Amino acid sequence: MVLLVVDAQRLITTPDLYNFNAFENAVKSLIAAAREHDVEVIYVRHDDGAGTELTKGTPGFEIYEGFSPQPGEKIFDKTVNSSFKGTGLLEYLVEKNVHTVAVVGLQTDYCIDATIKCGFEHGFKMIVPENANSTFDNAFMTGEQSYKYYNEFMWKGRYAERISVEEMIKKMKKCNLYHMKLCYKLYFDYIIKLIGENYENIFY
């Protein structure tokens, strides 16, 4: 399992987002819980290209201060809505044998939607924690309408599992316990094998 933080960049992570306070609190809680339970946090940034406000070298391109990456945490940059296309993220997750991706960030109706659907098509189990994505009003729907349309109708039961932040944190704890048990098993299997290979040297 990984926690994927998509496009939570300074330029667009603002109080103008739908339900901003709940969004900010949810993402902060999930990042903190992931780190506590050894679930990898991965960041994705969107680059609109030279001459725009959302491109490398501009203040708005960097990750929002409230969600800042820690040293060593992976950051992938993209130029299209999907976090998987041409970024190296897909290859990285496959190499790490990741099966489950929890997605948080921005924007619900753009890059979160594309990332969830593409992740689903690549065979990942996609999870969408409640209140952990958001967007702005557009010409057709308010931010609230967009959020509810995608979270409560489009993704749920089709492309992703939608759960509360509390349930997501429980999954993180369970995932950590599973990996700990697996590590202990591998360690003891190795010790038993080592003893078996050196049995005569130890006892004779």
Predicted confidence (pLDDT) at residue 192 exceeds the cutoff of 70: no
**pLDDT score at 196:** 58
Q: Tens of pLDDT along 34-49? A: 999 999 999 999 999 9
- CATH of residue 184's domain is 3.40.50.850
> Can you give the residue range of the structural domain that contains 169?
2-203
This prediction has a pTM of 0.88
**pLDDT score at 202:** 53
- When divided into structural domains, the chain yields a total of 1
- Residue 98 CA: distances (Å) to CA of 17, 126, 182, 188: 31, 11, 15, 24
